[in-house]
Amino acid sequence: MRIIHIIASHMRMEGGMPTAICSLVEAQNAVGDNAFILSVCATKSEIESRYISYLNHDNEIEKYLISNNPDIIIFHGVYYYKYLSVSKIVASLRIPYCIEPHGAFVREAQNKSKIKKFVANRTLFARMIRNASSVIYLNSDEMEKSIIEFPRHIIVPNGCEVTELIYPKKQETSVFYIGRLDIHHKGLDILIKALDYVRNMVEVKVSIYGSGNKKSNRVMRTKTRNQINTQMCGSVYGEDKVKAFQENNIMILTSRYEGMPMTVLEALANGCPCIVTEGTNFSKIIIENGLGWCCDLNYKDIARVLLTAINEYNRDKDGYIQRTRDYIRKFCSWKQIAQCAHEEYGKVLEDKCE
């Protein structure tokens, strides 16, 4: 099967979407498919992959698609203006395509810039959405929370690999966040309030890894300045990121909405149970498999669950490390995800032939 993944976001290492797509494409080629990435907006990538092409002009994109003759195309993300012209090219070539929204169709995401998206869904992006052969959700939670109706959908999750544990866990239980410093999207405003609320109840060290725009960075530094046990650590990549996951104990992600965040999979792969909100679309998996804890998006409940998590982790540290890593091995390897994608894409193509 010849597959082209089209992406219009940046192609930098801190991005969960480009990282996941590159890993998926590597795995798809390893299991026998011919998969490629077409970046239609970025001019440069910090992710090394021999499968990426960078084309920004429509005539170049059309020639690329004709010469590669894919069986199916996957648009990653939705609300990129470049997709308006590219999807018309794809439609004119009669190539079946799917949209993988990465959380963009869930209610919380649709409520951000609500009027703009309401209009976009019915005007600019209406044809692209309507003509898609299928939508691809990352898990059942994302599917259930989507408020955009499709006649057909498939589920292809994100994946991750378990790596060798090189760095020992801290003896004193630590909590950490790792990701983009988007204060509203990631619920960091509520998290900081919870940490302030809980600091007189328990002494716990909290590390926040990541960066955002200038305003977000400034706000986060200001809000954590008086929290002596909260440390702003900046962005980490490569081996430094592995070290951050492996040295720390409990990861927390309080997002208002997500697709299927790579940072949770990476945490589990490195032996870190997670505290998550419903908005992460990971709460069912976390609770049903004993991989951590779920909290509501309010500061008192986050504080309550944080105290519970620290106590339960301290009683069963080795058990949490074992369960989290075993879950990734059993269900989330990229080889398994690539095989799942092949089967699900095949179903879409079969339906188009009927």
Percent of the chain predicted with pLDDT > 90: 79
Q: What average pLDDT does range 185-206 have in this prediction?
A: 89
Least confident of 73-82, 158-167, 223-232, 333-342: 223-232
Q: Domain range holding 228?
A: 174-331
Same structural domain, 202 and 253:
yes
Q: What is the pLDDT of residues 261-308, one digit of tens each?
A: 999 999 999 999 999 999 999 999 999 999 999 999 999 999 999 999
Average pLDDT over the chain, rounded to an integer? 92
- The answer to whether position 164 is within a domain reads no
Same structural domain, 113 and 192:
no
- The answer to whether position 167 is within a domain reads no
- The answer to whether position 98 is within a domain reads yes
* Separation of alpha carbons 112 and 114, rounded Å: 5
- The answer to whether position 166 is within a domain reads no
Q: What is the pLDDT of residues 84-111, one digit of tens each?
A: 999 999 999 999 999 999 999 999 999 9
**Higher per-residue pLDDT: 180 or 352:** 180
- The answer to whether position 264 is within a domain reads yes
Q: How many domains, in total, are found in the chain?
A: 2
- The answer to whether position 165 is within a domain reads no
Q: Has residue 46 got a pLDDT over 80?
A: no
**Which residues lie below 8 Å from residue 311, measured CB to CB, with a gap of 6+?**
none
Same structural domain, 304 and 341:
no
Same structural domain, 304 and 348:
no
Rounded to the nearest 5 percent, the helix, strand and coil shares of the chain are 45, 20, 35
User: What is the pLDDT, as a whole number, of residue 354?
Assistant: 60
CATH number at residue 202: 3.40.50.2000
Same structural domain, 32 and 76:
yes
Q: What is the pLDDT of residues 297-322, one digit of tens each?
A: 999 999 999 999 999 999 999 999 99
Same structural domain, 195 and 75:
no
Same structural domain, 113 and 222:
no
Element (H, E) at 247: helix 238-247
- The answer to whether position 123 is within a domain reads yes
pTM, full prediction = 0.91
